[in-house]
Amino acid sequence: MSSKVAYIKDDNLTEICSNIPNVGDRGKLTHRLVEAYGLFKFMQVFPVKPASREDLITFHSQSYVDFLIEADEWSDYENREEDQEEYGLGYDCPLFTKVYKFASLVAGGSLTGAQLLVDGDADIAINWCGGWHHAQRDEAKGFCYVNDIVIAIQKLREKFDRVLYIDIDAHHGDGVENAFSSTSKVMTVSFHNYGLGFFPGSGAVNDVGFGAGRYYSVNVPLKDGVTDDQFSWLFTRVMDVVTNTFHCDAVVLQCGADCLTGDPVGTFNLTPHGMGACVKKVLTWKLPTLFLGGGGYNLTNTAKCWTFLTSIIVGKTLSSDIPDHTDFLRYGPDFDLEISAGLRKNSNTFSELNTIVDNITANLSNLP
């Protein structure tokens, strides 16, 4: 029996996401490429139900949310710098017109997907405009103004007792890990670059959570240049250990495409096939699953990647030739869905990766 797949697509959400630094119109690019390949025929498309203030404060502090509501009406941001700094707004998270509307729509997109899973109206939900994993309880961080992931997981927990969160973005999923670091009901697993000066600088293998959540935070720190073969092998090894220990009822997979080769902020050699192997692994569990976007700052590569992952989710094989559509010229000069593996020096050895698996296995052996 095939899975019921829901795809979150909303013009208001994609339009307002273009206000985020370095994100541009990648949401529109992705939706149009998914459409050009005819994949919407195999999914049900849902618009976003905006998140309410009450939805946002299931994770974020009331003072932070109220500040965003107030800032929504500002026209002069420069004379309010002190107010902004308290909440991490500025530099990589500058204020912009209708920032609260943005937060409401971003959180609403992932909440909509989670609600469909909770209600049984979908087995799988996709929101490529979600996945903002750095936002903290009371501050914006790393282009992330609201943590839609945490809010969606809170919604999933209304029905599903134990939720597994997996993050394959190039950056550590610190905001999500911090939110659940003291609970045994949500296990967070983050695969990420962990190197000197690489944002956010957290996520060592021995960062395992606290109190009742000790050992329910799993971190897989990687060096520059990891390849598809290494990444998919490591993902399988780690997730086999995780799922043998933590028996979850639902899954959230954040697919940040900044782990791809050619990303202006990423340092890996991955192609969509490396990420696709992770998606295929998760699909074998046949659990209610929410797929989210995240980072990804080479916009056309990100659109290619998320379209390819969508095809895996619906079980369709795509031609490597980009179909003719509105954005066709953006994919020149090769007009090819494929992305060649990167040539960055690989600083990861299989011996080191084995050690990471051994450390994670030892950590998880402490769980009941």
What domains are there in the chain, each with its CATH number? Answer: 5-364 (3.40.800.20)
**Confidence at residue 174, expressed as pLDDT on a 0 to 100 scale:** 98
- The stretch 292-303 carries a mean pLDDT of 97
Whether the pLDDT of residue 81 is over 80: the answer is no
Check pLDDT > 70 for residue 76: no
Question: Average pLDDT in the 210-228 region?
Answer: 98
- What six digits make up the tokens of 37? 């390949």
Res 71: pLDDT: 86
Tell me how many degrees the CA angle 42-45-50 measures, rounded to the nearest 5: 155
Q: What is the pLDDT of residue 2?
A: 74
Decide: 83 and 5 in contact? Cβ < 8 Å: no
CB contact at 8 A, 242 and 278: no
The beta-strand segments (E) located in the chain are: 5-8, 44-46, 124-127, 163-167, 186-193, 217-222, 250-254, 289-292
Is pLDDT of 78 > 80? no
Structure confidence at residue 82 (pLDDT): 64
- pLDDT, position 79: 60
Residue 261's alpha-carbon distances to 34, 274, 307, 325, in angstroms, are 21, 11, 17, 25
Worst-scoring range by mean pLDDT, 62-76, 134-148, 234-248, 266-280?
A: 62-76
Q: How sure is the predictor about 91, in pLDDT bands with cuts at 50, 70 and 90?
A: confident
Q: What is the mean pLDDT of the segment spanning 240-262?
A: 98
Find tokens 């509501």 and name the residue.
Answer: 69
Average pLDDT, the chain: 95
Other CB atoms within a 10 A radius of the CB of residue 321 amount to 12
Beta bridge partners of 141: 144
| pLDDT tens-digit readout, 154-180 | 999 999 999 999 999 999 999 999 999
Q: Is the peptide bond before 94 cis (omega within 30 degrees of 0)?
A: no
CA gap 290, 156 in Å, rounded: 10
Band of residue 300 on the pLDDT scale cut at 50, 70, 90: very high
CA nearest neighbour of 17 among 187, 126, 133, 144 = 144
pLDDT, position 80: 63
pLDDT of residue 34: 98
pLDDT at 140 over 90: yes
List the single range of 7-21, 125-139, 142-156 with lowest mean pLDDT: 7-21
Let me know if 134 is a catalytic residue: yes
pLDDT band at 324 (very low <50, low <70, confident <90, very high): very high
Of 31, 133, 134, 172, the active-site residue reads 134
